[in-house]
Chains A and B, each alone.
Chain A
Amino acid sequence: MRNFKLIICFVVFITCLFGTACTSLVRAQENNTLNVYLFYGDGCPHCSKERVFLNTIHEKYPERVSIHEYEVYYNQKDIESFTKAIDHLKIDVAGVPFLVIGEKYYVGYGDDDSTGQEILTEIERCLENGCKDNLSKLLLNSESDQMVEDSTVDGTDGSEYLNVPSDEIEISRGSDVQDTSPIYLNTYVFGNVNLKDISLPIATILIGFVDGFNPCAMWILIFLITMLINMHDKKRLYILGSIFIFTSGLVYFFFLAAWFSFFKFIGYVYWIKLIIGIVAIVSGVIHVKNSLFSKGECHVTDANQRRSIMDKVKTTLSQKSFLLSIIGIVTLAVSVNLVEVVCSAGLPAVYTSLISSIEMTTAEYYLYLLLYVVVFMLDDLFVFFVAMKTFEVTGIAKKYTKWSGLIGGIIIFVIGIILIIKPELLMFG
């Protein structure tokens, strides 16, 4: 009987022990939150997107996810927190946004469907299974109204949980949050048009147009068409001319796509934004100066390089086999355009940097790049179609390019200034 009482007492003790543990475990899970640390820059478009996305996560898990934000462009205290965090995590982070969830961290932010989903998955994994919180002791102890200990959010190992008051988990809204309110312009013809909807297409057309009128690539097309006209072979003119223009456009499209991928990959880095801003300012000034003072002169490449390209064109066109001529033209267009893209490296960099900071679908990004290339090729297409129609080669008069260069140059200049001072203004609609 005594043994039975002992057994009962033991069972009760174990039950109480487990019961207490379980009760405290459940309570802990209910009361505590997962800390997410976001280091961002005021004015950084990718940061803005990530903050908006994190807000939606917070709305989904208002009691369980606590988002701590640190502004690292202008706020000295937060810069120190950022330095402490990356030192503590022993990682090298060059830019923001920088997000830490448990033991995982994310540098940069693509869009809600890519990076956003990764973040959401990790947060839900931490809420489900628990994650070690490496930064709470380091960063949150200084926040007087938060009772935080270096701990884990874990429902299984019985370690301590974070206890953050619910009024602390609101995400603060900075000035860089995207303003999506429309700005209407009554066009009378098309009715009310949202300026934010048309600003990016207009910017694309203007920058592409200005970029298209660089003398580097045009002279080769003119030379090629002249040679083809001199051969008195319309079929060759149509086919080889089309192939040259198409290949040139394709090379430029890949060139733009490479710039775009670069900016998407690196995300938002302040010094790169600064360089692109300076490039845009310099490019804008050059285009404005050329529009005002240039007399439409041609001064392209050095004489030896020019002769070498001209010889290649002549050799290609003298091929008896039409197939060899086609292969030669494709090779020529690729090689020449790869060299000549250096001429206009500034504008594609500015443009792709600009659109990479705007939230769109992947298809929309590439459609804009396509629009840029089509506009970029307009002068070539004009010269080619005139040649096809009249069988004479023509140039484009300076008077037609002057105003586009002037307006485009001013816009590029303004983009440069904004990129440096207040880049969130360029997030368009």
Chain B
Amino acid sequence: MKVLKFGAIWCSGCLVMKPLWAEIEKENPWLETEYHDVDEESEFANAFQIQDYPCFIFLDKEEKEIHREYGQVEKKKLIELINSYKDK
């Protein structure tokens, strides 16, 4: 499983989520995540049809989308999602 994180440097919600994800990644070193700036990589972001930021897309081993979350998500919920998709 991999998590794609889409955000922008001007986005308040993205800034709020940044340290939260840093904690999660530190606590779960096995977790693979990628950050994509929607201004720097607009084509890549458009491919996922993202309109609001931050956006977190959960991919399975075959890189297929299995779940997505928008906005400021609580850490507890993210950990639950990560654990439920861990083996996918």
Query: Which residues of A line the B interface, CB within 8 A?
Result: 215, 218-220, 222-223, 226, 294-299, 303, 306-307, 310, 383, 393-398
User: Contacting B13 at CB < 8 Å: which of A220, A298, A303?
Assistant: A298
User: Contacting B8 at CB < 8 Å: which of A295, A298, A396?
Assistant: A298
Query: Within the complex, what minimum Cβ distance (angstroms) separates A35 from chain B?
Result: 62
Q: Which residues of A contact B53 (CB under 8 A)?
A: 297-299
| Chain A residue nearest to B15 in the complex (CB) | A395
Q: Is the CB of A393 within 8 A of B73?
A: no
Q: Is the CB of A395 within 8 A of B73?
A: no
Query: Within the complex, what minimum Cβ distance (angstroms) separates A402 from chain B?
Result: 10
User: Contacting A303 at CB < 8 Å: which of B9, B12, B42?
Assistant: B42
Chain B interface size, as a band, is 20 to 34
Classify the interface of chain A: helix, strand, loop or mixed. Answer: helix
Mask: chain B, 48-88; 1 = CB below 8 Å from A; 0 = not: 00011110000000000000011111000000000000000
B30 adjacent to chain A (CB < 8 Å): no
Classify the interface of chain B: helix, strand, loop or mixed. Answer: loop
Mask: chain B, 37-55; 1 = CB below 8 Å from A; 0 = not: 0010010000000011110
**Residues in B13-34 with C-beta less than 8 Å from chain A:** 13-16
Query: Within the complex, what minimum Cβ distance (angstroms) separates B67 from chain A?
Result: 14
Query: Within the complex, what minimum Cβ distance (angstroms) separates B47 from chain A?
Result: 15
Q: Which residues of A contact B16 (CB under 8 A)?
A: 296, 394-398
Q: Which residues of A contact B52 (CB under 8 A)?
A: 297-299
Q: Which residues of B contact A307 (CB under 8 A)?
A: 39
Q: Is the CB of B70 within 8 A of A297?
A: yes
Which 10 A-B pairs have CB atoms at the shortest separation, nearest pair first? Answer: A295-B71, A395-B12, A395-B15, A296-B72, A297-B52, A223-B10, A298-B11, A219-B10, A395-B16, A297-B71
Query: Which residues of B line the A interface, CB within 8 A?
Result: 8-16, 39, 42, 51-54, 69-73
Query: Within the complex, what minimum Cβ distance (angstroms) separates A170 from chain B?
Result: 60
Q: Is the CB of A395 within 8 A of B9?
A: no
Query: Within the complex, what minimum Cβ distance (angstroms) separates A223 from chain B?
Result: 4
Known: A296-B16, A306-B39, A395-B15. 10 other contacts (CB 8 A): A215-B12, A219-B10, A222-B11, A298-B53, A298-B54, A310-B39, A395-B12, A395-B13, A395-B14, A396-B12
Query: Within the complex, what minimum Cβ distance (angstroms) separates A211 from chain B?
Result: 16
| A310, B15: Cα distance in complex, Å | 17
